[in-house]
């Protein structure tokens, strides 16, 4: 993994932190009622997906346990099909999947120190 990949992975960790801080302890009902927050969180999903697309093939290939394709795909849905995006899926992604992704990416960065 090169320096560029490490920078991108660090930015992904930052985006995960931002999304989790914005969501905080809100319930799904509270999240769904806040249009500004929904759009802001979706923007972080888009940012993360875009960052993933910019990782080198070597980096993604070295860590096949990370669902790179699914992350990029979710970005595409959030960016291009926002009106049909299920906010419950976005909420669950931030609440559950982002924590797991944060751990995996942190381990990746630590492996290369």
Residue-wise pLDDT tens digits, 69-88: 999 999 989 888 877 899 99
Residues whose CB is less than 8 angstroms from the CB of residue 45 and which lie 6 or more positions away in sequence, other chains included:
19, 74, 75, 78, 90, 93, 94
Q: Which of 46, 52, 41, 37 is nearest to 76 (CA)?
A: 46
The pTM of the full predicted model, rounded to 2 decimals, is 0.91
For the chain, residues with pLDDT lower than 70 are 113
Query: In the prediction, which pLDDT does 113 show?
Result: 64
112 CA to centre of own chain: 21
Domain ranges of the chain: 3-111
């Amino acid at each position: 993994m090169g320096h560029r990949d490490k920078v991108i992975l660090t930015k992904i960790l930052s985006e995960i932190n931002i999304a989790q801080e914005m969501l905080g302890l809100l319930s799904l009902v509270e999240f769904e009622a806040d249009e500004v927050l929904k759009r802001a969180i979706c923007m972080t999903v888009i940012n993360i997906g875009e960052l993933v697309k910019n990782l080198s093939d070597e980096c993604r290939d070295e860590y096949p346990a990370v669902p790179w394709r699914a992350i990029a795909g979710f970005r595409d849905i959030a960016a291009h099909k926002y009106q049909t995006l299920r906010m419950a899926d976005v909420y669950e992604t931030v609440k559950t999947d982002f924590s797991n992704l944060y751990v995996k990416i942190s381990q990746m960065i630590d492996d290369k120190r």
